[in-house]
Structure 1
């Protein structure tokens, strides 16, 4: 997201631009969490807010012990792991954070989700910069939800993780996109 873009205007892009105003991005994440918790009557306690803020420091996933390090104050004691794990459980339960299974790590949620549609959350994970983009599943998500319904299957947590190279890293490394003649899509 560029400095001139609002989080809402950039919501269609899976990855924030390298020069985006990350402070605005993080503030938007916390404001969204406060609104969701207020609407649900859930308590966004100080530790839950601090854990979410620690996750929102970066678009790269952070493990629980990374979060603990981010929360540790100089000369002070870091929070107990169980405290951080409980806060993460709350954030996950309320859709304020996501677990990236392949990394055993967490990211702050950057999108509104329709919990009723059963569409999967798609995470695009850059192998170079470590950023995680959260993308709309679109027609693919609808097809996957229909497949699950027709099979009599009810997904508990439909998540798809795709690793590769984000457009920003591809441009920075001078990799150009080229068409894949087998699929008709672009690859680098």
Structure 2
């Protein structure tokens, strides 16, 4: 029996390392002719290494450790580039960023966000996005962006 959990498990990308995610972003940037500047790459590395949603000012603090003069617009410009090109996702409800585990493909994915440990899991099931698109079409609505965030408690925190 194919359940949604089975499909999600088949697409679980948490085994990827921050280094492999950054390498995938570098590859996708080259293929698309995008300029992944050293600062953009460094912000991508920080987001990937965080392992959970990270806020812009936390990224700024890390950058200031290396580059004392880093300013908020610097971080936001790098985040905007990464967002626009699908290399990271913004979790609107908690105003934080996570790396995308599929940087080579454009997609919209729902997230499961734990309210205890702040972990965020991409739900990698194309049927979810297709269902939302179909419902929007049925209402005569043309979506331009899609952010679906489900809050709750993850398996690890429920066990604790």
TM-score by length of structure 1 reads: 0.72
CA change 1:112–1:37 in 2 (3 A) is closer
Task: Give deviations 1:105-125, integer Å, cap 9, x for gaps.
Answer: 11111235753xxx7411111
Structure 1: 5+ residue stretches without partners: 1-9, 174-188
Residues 1:105 and 2:93 aligned together: no
- 1:69–1:78 contact (8 Å) kept in structure 2: no
Residues 1:79 and 2:78 aligned together: no
1:58, distance to aligned residue in structure 2 (A) = 1.8
In 1, distance between residues paired with 2:10 and 2:35?
Answer: 26
Which aligned pairs between 1:13-92 and structure 2 lie closer than 5 A?
13=12, 16=14, 25-73=17-65, 77-92=68-83
In 1, distance between residues paired with 2:102 and 2:68?
Answer: 33
Partner of 1:5: none
CA change 1:142–1:61 in 2 (3 A) is same
- Higher strand content, 1 or 2: 1
In 2, distance between residues paired with 1:109 and 1:100?
Answer: 12
Radius of gyration: which is bigger?
A: 1
Task: Give deviations 1:156-180, integer Å, cap 9, x for gaps.
Answer: 2212001112222223x1xxxxxxx
1:11, distance to aligned residue in structure 2 (A) = 6.5
Partner of 1:132: 120
How many residue pairs align between the two structures? Answer: 152
Structure 2: 5+ residue stretches without partners: 1-8
In 1, distance between residues paired with 2:36 and 2:120?
Answer: 24
Instruction: Tell me the C-alpha RMSD between the 2 structures.
Output: 2.2
